Structures are given as C-alpha cells and as structure tokens.
Amino acid sequence: MKRYHVTTFGCQMNAHDSERIKGMLEELGLGEAVSQEEADVLVFNTCTIREKPDQRFAAHLGNAKMLKLADPEKVIAVGGCYAEAQRERLFDLYPFVDVAFGPGTIPHLAQWLGAGGEAPRGRFGIADQRQFAGTLPMHRERRFQAWVQVSMGCNSVCSYCIVPSVRGREVSRRPGEILAEVTSLAGEGVREITLLGQNVNSYGRDLGSSFAELLRAVDAIDGIERIRFTSPHPKDFRRDVIAAMAECDAVCEHAHLPLQSGSTRVLKAMRRTYSRERYLRLVDDLRAGIPDLALTTDIIVGFPGETERDFEETLEVVEEVGYDGAFTFVYSPRQGTEAATSRDQVPGHVKKARIERLVDVVQRVALARNGERVGRVEEVLVEGPSRTDPSLLRGRTRRNTTVNFAGTSIPGALVDVRIEGATSTTLRGVELAAVAA
Ligand code: SAH
Ligand code: SF4
Ligand code: F3S
C-alpha cells in the first residue's frame, strides 16, 4: 500500500482543507504515513498570509527535495495559498514538484494523481475549479469537534491582505448542504462545530439568506452542543447575528472580532470600512446582547504610515475592550496587494519594538480577564490529556479558553470544572461532576 503525508500551514480553513485532502487520498487507497520520510506521496498545504509561512514552507520543501533525490518515485504535491500565489513560477522555483493545486480545488486532486497516486506532472487547479467538499470523504483529526465550511473566498479589499487574490471571490455554500453535513457529523458523535469562512458573517448574501438564519438552523440540529464561527468581519456584524447568538443555546459566548488597528486613520488605509468608534460601538452591542461574552482579536502593527500615535490608539483599544486573547502580527508586505507598494513602510526595528509593547499589553489584559474566572465553575468539553502535564486533562470552555484540569472524564464529555488558577492563555481547575457523557 502506498502512503501519503500531509504537512499543513496556515489557518483553520487550511487545516480543514487538509482533512479533505487526506480523505481524498484515502479514497484512492493510500494510507497515512507517520513522517515525510516514509511517505510515497508528500503533500504540502501552504499558506502565504505573511512572509514567515513562505519561509517555513521553503525549509520543508528543501527537505522534500533531498527525499526525492534519494527516491525519484516519490510524488511531491504542493497545494494551498502559496501555490496559488506563485502559480506562474512554482515549477520554475521548485522543478522537483510534480503536482500543484490551488486552495479549494481539492476534489480535483484525485483526478490529477490518478488511481494509486501516480503523478502526471504539473497539474494546476485554477480558481474557477473551486468546489465545496460536499459528500467527499473527509479524514477528521478530532472526534468530537469539526469544522464546517460555509463559504469560500473573500469579497473584501483589505489593502494588506493576499487572501482575496488566492482564494477568489466569495461564494456561499447552500444551506441545505451545510445542514446535512452538520446533521451527519452530529450522528457521528461530534458535539462542537466551527463554521468557517473568510468573512463568515457575510454568509448567504449571494443566496438571499443570512448568517443569522444559518446560526438558528444549525442550532436546531440535535446533538450539537456548541457552535463556533470564524472569522466575522466587524463591518458585517449585524444586530440579527447578535440576537441569534443570544437566543441560540448552542452558540458559544465568544466572538473573534479582528480589530487590525485602533486608529481610524490606519483602518481607512487598510480599507476595513469601520472606524475605531464604530468598532467600539459593536463591542458594546455585543456585550449588551450576550452576557459574559469572550472577545478575541487579530492586530497588525507597523502597517505603512502607522505613526507612534496611531499605534498608541491600538494599545488604548486593547485596554478599553479588554480582550480575552489576541493574535498579534507584524505587517508583512505581500506582493500584489495595495499596501505593499506604499512608500511609507515602517522600519523593521520600529515594528519589532511596537509588537513587543503590544504583546505586553495583550498579555496583561488577558491575564486580568482570565483571573476573573478563578472561583467560577465553567462547562468544559474534554479534548484529551493536557499537553504540558499528562496527569491532567485538557479541554475548552464555552468562551474558548483552554483549561488544564484534574479529572477522570473521557474525551467528548462535557464536564463542570471549578477554575482555580489562570495564566494569560490558559486556566487551571478541578472537575466537579460529569454533566453529560
Ligand atoms: N479572513 C480572516 C482572516 C484573515 S488572515 C479575517 O479577515 O478575519 C488572519 C489575520 O492575519 C488577519 O486578521 C490579519 O490580522 C493578519 N494578516 C493578514 N495579512 C497580513 C499581512 N500582510 N501582514 C501581517 N498580518 C496580516
Ligand atoms: Fe483578508 Fe480582509 Fe478578506 Fe479577511 S476580510 S480575508 S483580512 S481581505
Ligand atoms: Fe494562509 Fe490562505 Fe489561510 S494565506 S491564513 S492559508 S486563507
């Protein structure tokens, strides 16, 4: 039996795409190899959101090249966002790559690879061949949690971002297909689903439907105890979604609401189409509608033209909102995006100093937020043993914070945990009693 290995970079959408890639390869009769060394077909599912993932992929591909030199029968396939961004040059840059395919063109991978996994060289999935997984096989990495794709592509024009050019225009998946998938996942024992889209809350506009309607329909499916979604765009976060979040029992008390910058001037240059004030109003509305809501965010420092004052405004918003967590990024120019050609690039040492200051504030604020949980009892979905201490269990609260706790429950159980300690990213606690198993 031939074996495959998939290496995944990037966001949850890519992780989910990799589950579909694995499912496809298993349908072709390949088994999973534990390492790149032992695989006959090596797949790299790439990301190009910043320079760093590009560099990490280049390092991996260097290793793949050595493996291919030692064994020319090995097939090397490169898919995802970097492959799409470099489609004109990929085979010149890396002549030992056999197959390339763009993000979302996974159903075609089987055709290109052929029965048994032999590679016809140089096939490339172009954007108009994108498809939803539909009824295709899926190799899920987690038993009780699953991703469900609701849309592909992005119609926004954020001036720093390469995603629209590699993932194409936004297309919503039919509600019937989504609900059928969720129903079948519930039948397989999945308790938590995360609805995925680049701009998840603009879902349905092209179908005359809406994200709020979708949330309510998913909430009505038996067996799904928790519903999450990522990422919403603040500009499309309408009141009907807040109302649906508040009313649907399964929808978790958490919103990942990318801020990017706290300066209205910078937000404008980023083409985010909201101001600092409008963002803060949305936060107020969310908190008024959904008690005990957790808020997390994405922030970029060093966007072209960002002044010290702009940056301080970002710090102010972090303090004012009091995020439970934040992903922080140094601006990375991406070829072909509007901001990359700006002449106002911020020097590297300034970006570095700013991200350090930002991380300090984010950690302090998150620690204070997590500290407020100490003494409370939280519902935790058990995921497995703790990553740092195998004598403890690990799980997540409805507010999406990881908890390491002493307990006896099995993965997939929903248990009550008394919180006894906090860091800026995790909680610690003790299981009280299984509320459902
Ligand atoms: N579609 C999602 C996520 C996009 S990528 C959304 O809009 O929310 C995830 C995060 O990467 C973005 O929110 C942004 O903070 C960051 N990012 C995107 N492009 C970047 C760039 N060129 N440099 C640095 N960070 C970037
Ligand atoms: Fe990129 Fe903006 Fe689209 Fe998010 S909403 S994927 S940041 S263009
Ligand atoms: Fe990266 Fe593509 Fe996701 S660029 S962040 S893998 S959409």
Domain count, the chain: 4
Tell how far the Cα of 10 is from the centroid of ligand 3, in angstroms.
5
Looking at the structure, tell me whether residues 352 and 315 fall in a common domain. yes
Domain boundary among 319, 348, 372: 372
Q: Is residue 90 part of a domain?
A: yes
Tell how far the Cα of 47 is from the centroid of ligand 3, in angstroms.
5
Looking at the structure, tell me whether residues 23 and 65 fall in a common domain. yes
Q: Among 18-27, 36-45, 59-68, 103-112, name the one with the lowest average pLDDT.
A: 103-112
Q: If residue 196 lies in a helix (H) or strand (E), which one and from where to where?
A: strand 192-196
Q: Give the model's pLDDT for residue 319.
A: 98
Q: Give the model's pLDDT for residue 75.
A: 93
| Ligand 3 atom showing the smallest separation from residue 12 Cα | 3
Residue 83 has pLDDT above 80, yes or no: yes
How many CB atoms sit inside 10 A of residue 430's CB? Answer: 13
Tell how far the Cα of 184 is from the centroid of ligand 1, in angstroms.
32
For residue 346, which phi and psi values (nearest 5 degrees)?
-85, 130
Report the C-alpha gap between 386 and 382 in whole angstroms.
10
Domain boundary among 355, 372, 389: 372
Q: Is residue 260 part of a domain?
A: no
Q: Is residue 242 part of a domain?
A: yes
CATH code of the domain in which 421 resides:
2.40.50.140
Tell how far the Cα of 59 is from the centroid of ligand 1, in angstroms.
23
Q: Which DSSP string corresponds to 223-251? A: T--EEEEE---GGG--HHHHHHHHH-TTB
| Ligand 3 atom showing the smallest separation from residue 85 Cα | 4
pLDDT band at 135 (very low <50, low <70, confident <90, very high): low
Residues of the domain holding 76 = 3-125
Percent of the chain, pLDDT > 70? 97
Q: Is residue 274 part of a domain?
A: no
CATH code of the domain in which 315 resides:
3.30.750.200
Q: Is residue 19 part of a domain?
A: yes
Mean pLDDT over the full length of the chain: 94
Looking at the structure, tell me whether residues 34 and 120 fall in a common domain. yes
Q: Give the model's pLDDT for residue 434.
A: 47
Measured from CB, residues less than 6 Å from any atom of ligand 3 are 10-11, 13-14, 47-49, 80-81, 163, 167
Of the two residues 42 and 134, the one the predictor is more confident about is 42
Rounded to an integer, the average pLDDT of 356-366 is 98
Percent of the chain, pLDDT > 90? 88
Tell how far the Cα of 395 is from the centroid of ligand 2, in angstroms.
30
Q: Give the model's pLDDT for residue 132.
A: 80
- Which amino acid, residue 270? M
Structure confidence by residue, pLDDT tens digits, 170-228: 999 999 999 999 999 999 999 999 999 999 999 999 999 999 999 999 999 999 999 99
CATH code of the domain in which 192 resides:
3.30.750.210
Looking at the structure, tell me whether residues 356 and 397 fall in a common domain. no
pLDDT band at 325 (very low <50, low <70, confident <90, very high): very high
- Residue 179 forms beta bridges with which residues? none
pTM of the entire predicted model:
0.95
Q: Is residue 263 part of a domain?
A: no
CATH code of the domain in which 116 resides:
3.40.50.12160
Alpha carbon nearest to ligand 3 atom 3, residue: 11
